[in-house]
Chains A and B, each alone.
Chain A
Amino acid sequence: GNSVTQMEGPVTLSEEAFLTINCTYTATGYPSLFWYVQYPGEGLQLLLKATKADDKGSNKGFEATYRKETTSFHLEKGSVQVSDSAVYFCAFRRGATNKLIFGTGTLLAVQP
Chain B
Amino acid sequence: EAQVTQNPRYLITVTGKKLTVTCSQNMNHEYMSWYRQDPGLGLRQIYYSMNVEVTDKGDVPEGYKVSRKEKRNFPLILESPSPNQTSLYFCASSRSRGQSNTEAFFGQGTRLTVV
Contacts and interface: CB of A to CB of B under 8 A. Distances in A.
State yes or no: do A and B come from one complex: yes
Contact of A95 (B33, B50, B98): B98
B42 A32 contact: no
Given A98-B31, A104-B42, A43 B90 contact: yes
Contacts of A4: 42
Interface residues of A, number: 24
Given A42-B108, A99-B33, A105 B103 contact: no
Contacts of B96: 98
Interface stretch (A14-22, A44-52, A68-76, A78-86): A44-52
Contacts of A42: 108-109
B74 interface: no
Interface SS of chain A: loop
Given A89-B42, A98-B33, A46 B102 contact: no
Interface in A88-110: 89, 93-100, 102-105
Nearest to B104: A100
Contacts of B108: 42-43
A96 B98 contact: yes
Contacts of A99: 33, 45, 48, 58
24 contacts: A31-B100, A32-B100, A36-B106, A42-B108, A43-B90, A43-B107, A43-B108, A43-B109, A44-B90, A46-B103, A46-B104, A49-B103, A51-B101, A94-B100, A96-B100, A98-B104, A99-B33, A99-B48, A100-B45, A100-B92, A100-B104, A102-B42, A104-B40, A104-B42
Interface of A: 4, 31-32, 36, 42-46, 49, 51, 89, 93-100, 102-105
